[in-house]
Structure 1
């Protein structure tokens, strides 16, 4: 008998189908990866299993069998007896999944209290043991801290501690590493593997990242538009996908891509960005904190230079100084051809990470793209309207999006709008700060292809900020690796990937998921 058996499950929101009669199973001690793009139905499936569908969500048919118990007929109160004891959940966002006004120890202890597992002293001891088990240093101190005092990776470990507290038979991990740096991602996935081996727990891994799924699962279930497109042993699906959609997902996953390194075209245009001995300090109490410490690099005109590193490495602070959104404490940034003040903004533009938060929800798409033209007083109304149409076509958006609002567009479409807006005034340098990290792998691949085409057609220079070396491998000509505010290694992308010199670079490269064999 399977541990979990999903049979013909159908789920809808307000009458709109989200899951359309899917079936799959999870065996004891097995890792099954449920993969697909946003909107495929994978997270809805996970929430249905837990009995945690949001308001408006209903199970319309099928069965959810946990052993021989059909959970679809259980009330919410009865489901509380299953959550934590037989099924544990590791949610997606560690920043929003913990109560900000309760200590870490209180939130883990609540699991034991709800199920009557021990007195206060016993629970306190078990909390400390769990925090140590998930690899948190000084667990006694961590138990007294609040979520905001922990890093994202530490908060995710707390969520795993909550999920395994009562040693459930099944853990549902819903995008458990999507908000984390690649090295932290690897540590979290290693931790889940270790705990699975120790407790014999099965894992349903819900993810849009085929690289992670390929490296960590025994079987793949590929979903699209609420249906199962393909299912089978991971190694077999990776080696020979039957469905065209699966093949496209695999081709688009940077960690699995076999694309060649980019090489800079000789153009003799000289450097477009020159950074020398850049330092940025922030005052935090008596002693200043040095976020960027003596950074130097050059970006050849018409090429892409990547700054890579984990959160806190100083790469985004460096990018903001290059784009003149922050003043350096010392050092220089030279961008030949860029004038002072407003003229600089015509020459250098910034594309932000979040396509959902960087566009004004009150404006139409046409107004958003036209805004730089109005600000720089470029052309009359008719000329600006024509330029907006040209820009939307250049980023491969249909003309009819011009009258829509951002909420009516997908994440990938919004990021195309952000790029169109950045191009409006005719800049020569784009600073792209994690510009594809919030996107599904297929949409991510489309945006990366678009950026390559724009660079080729317009001769643009990119400073590309990312924590993901698999993406950087695909887009960049040269790389600077940052750690704790310093550049620890620089070179061509081929050099850094094939012959890394610094241990930190090797650690980043080792964190790129590799498919199971």
Structure 2
């Protein structure tokens, strides 16, 4: 008998089907990865299994067998006897999944108190044991701290401690590493693997990242538009995918697709960007100063892409903000070839942010968003600006029927294309892209990266590409600087840095990339 047996499951939101007749099993002690893009139904499936569907969702048909018990018809209140005890959940966002006004110890201990697993002292000891087990240092002191005092990786370990507190037979990990740096991601996935080995716990891993799924799962379930496209042993599915959609996911996954490094011709004129001895200090208290960027120097040749890579807190985004003059350096210089002073600088250098939804005015239409830089710089009359907007949408492969829509009516990939069109409106020579594809599904990410390469070839653009994802950097950049704790620890051509890294930190970042399927 399977540990979990999902049979012909269908789920609707307000009468609209989100999951349509899916079936799969999870055996004791194995990891099954459910893979798909946003809207594929993978998270809906996970939430149906653990009984955490929102109020507007209904299970229309099918069975969810945990052993010989069908959970499909159980009420949320009845499911409380299963959650934590037989099924644990590691949710996606550690920042929003922990109560900001409760200590870490109180939140880990809550599941033990609810299920009456000992008196106060027993629970306190168990909390410290759990925090230690998931690799958190000084667990007794950490139990008295609050979520905001912990890093993202530490918060995710707390969520894992909560999930394993009652040693359930199944853990559902719903995008458990999507918000984490690549090295932290690897440590969290290693931890889940270790716990699975120690306790014999099965794992249902829900992810949009085919690289993570390929690296960590025994079997794969590939979902698209609420249906299962393909399933089977991971090695077999990835080595010989049958469904066209699986083939596309495999092709688009930067960690799994084997591509040639980008190379650039030697520059024949002065560099487009020259950064020298850049320093940025922030006041950390009445007398303390924190140095976020410490003596950073690099150059970017015209028409090429230079990547700044590193984990959160490495200083790469602060560096980018100084390059585009959104942050004033404490010392050092940034020179952009051909960039004028004041407002003219903005015509020459543009920025594309990580979150396209947050960077677009929700009150404006697509046409108004793209046209705004043209109005600000008084470029052309109304007819000329409208024609230019139409041309820009065509250039970023968006249909003109989107012109009247608002950002909320667009997908994530469409919003990012609008942000790129807006950045190109005033014909800049330099574009700074700050984690511009990290929030996108893998196929949309691949489309945006292909678009950026095409625009660079056609327009001669120079890119400064900020990312924590070396698999993406390997695909898009000609040269790279690796940052750690505010300093550049290694620089060179992408092929050189990836094939012969000289610094231990670079080797650690590279080791966190899943190996391509061969």
Decide: shared fold, TM above 0.5.
Answer: yes
Shift of 1:270: 2.6
Shift of 1:287: 1.4
1:316 is matched with which residue? 317
Shift of 1:514: 2.2
What is the number of equivalent residue pairs in this alignment? 517
Q: CA offsets, 1:85-108, max 9 Å, x none?
A: 000000000110000000000000
> Could you tell me whether the CA contact under 8 Å between 2:33 and 2:204 is conserved in 1?
yes
Distance 1:82 1:289 in 2: 47
> Could you tell me whether the CA contact under 8 Å between 2:307 and 2:464 is conserved in 1?
yes
- TM superposition score normalised by structure 2: 0.99
> Could you tell me whether the CA contact under 8 Å between 1:278 and 1:330 is conserved in 2?
yes
Q: Secondary structure at the match of 2:18?
A: strand
Q: Secondary structure at the match of 2:23?
A: strand
> Could you tell me whether the CA contact under 8 Å between 1:303 and 1:460 is conserved in 2?
yes
Q: Secondary structure at the match of 1:122?
A: helix
Shift of 1:336: 1.2
> Could you tell me whether the CA contact under 8 Å between 2:257 and 2:516 is conserved in 1?
no
2:422 is matched with which residue? 421
2:498 is matched with which residue? 497
Aligned positions of 1:262-273 closer than 5 A: 262-266=262-266, 268-273=268-273
Shift of 1:311: 0.2
Shift of 1:269: 3.2
State the superposition RMSD in angstroms.
0.8
1:482 is matched with which residue? 483
1:403 is matched with which residue? 404
Distance 1:153 1:181 in 2: 8
1:235 is matched with which residue? 235
Q: Which runs of 5+ in 1 are unaligned?
A: none
Shift of 1:516: 7.4
Runs of 4+ in 1 over 4 A off after TM superposition: none
Shift of 1:267: 5.2
Shift of 1:346: 0.3
Distance 1:98 1:359 in 2: 29
> Could you tell me whether the CA contact under 8 Å between 2:31 and 2:216 is conserved in 1?
yes
Q: Secondary structure at the match of 1:101?
A: coil
Q: CA offsets, 1:185-213, max 9 Å, x none?
A: 00000000000000000000000000000
1:184 is matched with which residue? 184
2:150 is matched with which residue? 150
- TM superposition score normalised by structure 1: 0.99
Aligned positions of 1:212-231 closer than 5 A: 212-231=212-231
> Could you tell me whether the CA contact under 8 Å between 1:19 and 1:41 is conserved in 2?
yes
Tell me, yes or no, if structure 1 residue 370 matches structure 2 residue 371. Answer: yes
Aligned positions of 1:73-472 closer than 5 A: 73-266=73-266, 268-285=268-285, 286-472=287-473
Distance 1:515 1:473 in 2: 13
Task: Evaluate the alpha carbon distance shift between residue 516 and residue 111 of structure 1 in structure 2; reply closer, same or farther with a 3 A threshold.
Answer: farther
Distance 1:226 1:485 in 2: 44
Q: Secondary structure at the match of 2:171?
A: strand
Distance 1:166 1:415 in 2: 43
> Could you tell me whether the CA contact under 8 Å between 1:292 and 1:317 is conserved in 2?
yes
> Could you tell me whether the CA contact under 8 Å between 1:216 and 1:516 is conserved in 2?
no
Distance 2:357 2:404 in 1: 18
2:71 is matched with which residue? 71
Q: Secondary structure at the match of 1:337?
A: coil
Q: Which runs of 5+ in 2 are unaligned?
A: none
